[in-house]
Amino acid sequence: MSHLPFENWIFDREKLTPNQISELEAHLQTCQQCSHLQSGWREVEKLLQSAPITPAPPQFINRFQASLAEKKAQQQKRQVRIALFSLGGAFILAGMVFILRLLWTIPPARLLSDIIGWIALAPQRWSEVQYILYYWGSQISPLALVALVFLLAGWSILLLTLWLLTFQRLSHLGVRGQ
């Protein structure tokens, strides 16, 4: 005789349907082994419900909270490391893909000649950039130039302050706001 479904039903009686309960009761009247198992389980349940609750040892809560805070800090450090390594890996992978794509589409001889030409023409291009900056700088009125400098400095200070406040908040609260 198979006792398996009846043994499972004895341990999980709350989830049974009325039909299953009547089937279990009929089986318990004929099966000595299952009725012994049920009476043992009822005794165990009584013992579990009547067991006294022992108080936690002194300073348990403080030690638990300290270890919990330490675990959270370690988890935050781990998350930051994973994020930084993932970002770094993504940049390295993207760079490798870009270089391979570049080498795949452009012959190495042409690439080398372009690099040499760019290096050879760099001083001339720098003087052209200086000329352009000098020309446009002379076309802008001094008052507009001062206003532009103050505007850029103000926005830079504002954004730097917001960035520092955000960084400070994240370092104290953590990434997930815990």
Q: Are 7 and 34 in contact (CB under 8 A)?
A: yes
Within-domain flag for 86: yes
49-61, pLDDT tens digit by residue?
887 888 877 787 7
Of the residues 89, 105, 121, which one is the last residue of a structural domain?
105
- Count CA atoms within 13 Å of residue 152 on its CB side: 6
Residue 31: CB partners within 8 Å, gap ≥ 6?
1, 3, 6
The model's confidence at residue 174, banded by pLDDT at 50, 70 and 90, is low
Q: Is residue 125 part of a domain?
A: no
Q: Are residues 10 and 44 in the same domain?
A: yes
Q: How many domains does the chain have?
A: 2
% residues pLDDT > 70 (the chain) = 96
pLDDT at 5 over 60: yes
Contacts of 175 (CB under 8 A, 6+ apart): 76, 79, 80
In a domain, 83, yes or no: yes
Q: Is residue 166 part of a domain?
A: no
What are 112-133's pLDDT values in tens digits? 898 999 999 999 999 999 999 8
Where do we find the tokens 């507009």?
A: 144
Structure tokens belonging to residue 144: 């507009």
Q: Which domain holds residue 16?
A: 4-50
Does a structural domain hold residue 142?
A: no
**CA nearest neighbour of 27 among 15, 44, 10, 40:** 10
The answer as to whether 42 is a domain residue is: yes
